[in-house]
Chain A
């Protein structure tokens, strides 16, 4: 049972346009959500996060939206740049017995074309 799903394995956009990466989760105990970016031959690095008490968090070109009723979050990158080309992982964590542990999606490979 995959609790965090990124249904699009890949996404290709033109430089300057918006990139929208989607993530769905099933566990209602999740209360904190993160996006990580991963370049080849490197470990994932933290990009942006949101807690369940908010529905939007913005950091420069990156905005994460959370729809708790739909158990869905999305990452918007505006404008997209070639350097944004990477694998993006969605992750979720919650309180309770697994506090501190994040569950990751399978990742979406974003390609931004010049």
Chain B
């Protein structure tokens, strides 16, 4: 398996523009997570899905952020409009919870810079 795939790897945009980050989870995993990593706030969970259904979006900073999972093999995180404070590395992760097993497999991340 290729692991969790994220695109793009790097994104530079101007304030006010729409940004869409993409994620392909590992086949067979039924959980998908979006995280944001910054120096100030560390690794924070934005939203997670179980079987394509959003379970907890309490980490989404504000209405400018939205996430979808139209099917088991694809998810998007959209920021509209983007702001400089959104600059961070965004990670997608997937897992298959079985009993005590709760290991998440992370993608390489998307480094977003909003000018």
A residues near B, CB below 8 A? 31-32, 34, 36, 41-46, 49, 51, 89, 91, 93, 98-107
Beta-carbon contact of A100 and B91 below 8 Å: no
Majority secondary structure, B binding face: strand
Beta-carbon contact of A34 and B103 below 8 Å: yes
Number of interface residues of B (CB under 8 A): 25
Beta-carbon contact of B109 and A43 below 8 Å: yes
Interfacial chain B residues near A43, Cβ < 8 Å:
4, 91, 93, 106-109
Interfacial chain B residues near A51, Cβ < 8 Å:
100
A/B interface sample: 23 pairs, CB < 8 A: A31-B100, A32-B100, A32-B102, A34-B102, A36-B104, A41-B109, A42-B109, A43-B4, A43-B91, A43-B93, A43-B106, A44-B104, A46-B103, A91-B104, A98-B55, A100-B95, A101-B33, A101-B45, A101-B55, A102-B102, A105-B42, A106-B42, A107-B43
